Amino acid sequence: MQKLTTREDLERMANTIRKDIIAMLVEAGSGHSAGPLDLADIATALYFNVLNTSPDKKHDPDRDRLHISCGHTAPVWYAVLARAGYFPVEELKTLRKLGTRLQGHVDRLTTPGIESSAASLGQGLGIACGAAYAGKINNQTYQTYALLSDGEHDEGSTWEAVAFAGHYKLAHLTAIIDRNNIQIDGPTESVMRKENFKEKYEAFGWHVIEIDGHNFEEIISACNEAKAIVEQPVCIIAHTIAGKGVDFMEYQYQWHGNPPNKEQAQEALKQLRSLGDKITPSDI
């Protein structure tokens, strides 16, 4: 798997991922748009730069692990895994269809590269804690990442895991929060107050870094900083724009759980193409 190191290459790949997401969702006829689109930059940075993993390292005990907690963001992970060579890109069009390896929510048993199945919110961080704790027992130094939504911080179980990681000073554990400010019923702060994330995590013993989740330099540098901190777990609060890249979806909570129709998909792809991408979009 080729590591992408320039901002231009990373942005180009993220743009391809966004087009894949739109194409998958319109083909599937159901699924989540906003979260996958806003995670495209973080997912690209992780798989094409940060993570020490690849299709031929799937079972390597020393690989880095990513545990996705918000399983509904599946389309972005499928697109990234396909583009990283875990399975054929053509398979993306099978999303959510009977017999597919690409289930509506991430499933480790069917999709190559997915480390753990998830969707019922509030569980991925705990799984990541277990993975990090196993590394601690074995004296391994692989890095474990958990990808959480902001909305799932309503779940008490999320905070049980936050407390656990802080209590055991779990090193080599990085939680990334997709702070896109929306959830199904509306803006996060109107559904259930979340703030102050930073102070809450710090109170539980975490080191917290806040970044622009669409800025590759910030994403990669925060992940590197997190790796260097070995006394405590690290939380990266990634501020993102829900539906990033498609203007009529941006900031709109209504796009949390809906796919575009054909006309909307055409408009979305037109906008993404006009962002200056030079890679021929895959025709999936």
Partner 1 sequence: MSNFSKDAHLSPSTLHKDVPMAATRDGYGIGVVETGKKDESVVVLCADLTESTRSQGFKDAFPNRFIEMGVAEQNMAVVATGLALNGKIPFVATYAVFSPGRNWDQIRISACYNEAHIIFIGAHAGISVGPDGATHQAMEDIALTRTLPGMTVLVPCDAEEARKAIHAAITAKGPVYIRLGRNATPKFTSENTPFAIGKAQIFREGTDVAIIGAGPIIHSALVAAAELEKQGISCEVINMPSIKPIDHDAIEKAAKKCKAIVTVEEHQIMGGVGSAIAEVVAQTVPVPIEFVGMHNSFGESGTPDELLKKYRMDAPAIEAAVKKVIKRK
d(CA 2, CA 210): 28
Ramachandran category for residue 4: left, alpha or beta (phi over 0 → left; psi -120 to 50 → alpha): beta
* Least Å from the CB of residue 152 to partner 1: 13
Please report whether residue 107 would count as binding partner 1 according to CB under 8 A: yes
Measured from the CB atom, the residue of 17 and 127 that comes closer to partner 1 is 127
Is there binding between residue 57 and partner 1 (CB under 8 A)? Answer: no
Spatial separation of the C-alpha atoms in residues 20 and 102, rounded to whole Å: 14
Answer yes or no whether residue 130 interacts with partner 1 by CB under 8 A.
Answer: yes
Q: End-to-end alpha-carbon separation of the chain, Å?
A: 21
* 129 near partner 1, rule: CB under 8 A: yes
Stretch that binds partner 1, among 18-26, 51-59, 73-81, 116-124 (CB under 8 A): 116-124
Tokens of 207: 């080191």
CA atoms within 13 A on the CB side of 144: 27
Specify whether the CB–CB gap between 149 and 69 falls below 8 A.
yes
The DSSP secondary-structure symbol of 89 reads G
Beta partners for residue 209, in sequence order: 236
Of 51-59, 61-69, 179-187, 201-209, which segment contacts partner 1 by CB under 8 A?
Answer: 61-69
Stretch that binds partner 1, among 86-94, 129-137, 205-213, 267-275 (CB under 8 A): 129-137
CB count within 10 Å of CB 225 equals: 15
Nearer to partner 1, 135 or 213 (CB): 135
Binding pattern for the stretch 143-182 against partner 1, x by CB under 8 A and - elsewhere:
-------------xx--xx-xx--x---------------
State yes or no: residue 117 binds partner 1 (CB under 8 A): yes
Q: Enter the DSSP assignment of 253.
A: G
The token pair that represents 72 in the structure block: 């509904």
Q: Which of 39, 76, 128, 241 binds partner 1 (CB under 8 A)?
A: 128
Q: Does 22 bind partner 1 (CB under 8 A)?
A: no
* Size of the residue set binding partner 1 (CB under 8 A): 35
Angle at 106 between CA 72 and CA 124, to 5 degrees: 80
Residue 8 or 62 with smaller CB distance to partner 1 = 62
Among 75, 126, 245, 260, binds partner 1 (CB under 8 A): 126
3-state secondary structure of 1: coil
Strands across the sheet with 234-239, in order? 65-68, 144-149, 173-179, 234-239, 207-212
- 205: tokens are 């013993």
Which residue of 15, 100, 123, 143 would you call a contact of partner 1, by CB under 8 A? 123
The yes or no reply on residue 28 touching partner 1 (CB under 8 A) is no
Q: Which segments of 29-62 does DSSP mark as H helices, in order?
A: 34-38, 40-45
Q: Which stretch binds partner 1 (CB under 8 A): 91-99, 128-136, 233-241, 262-270?
A: 128-136
Shortest distance in whole angstroms from residue 134 CB to partner 1: 4
Which residues contact partner 1 (rule: CB under 8 A)? 61, 65, 67, 107-109, 115-120, 122-135, 137-138, 156-157, 160-161, 163-164, 167
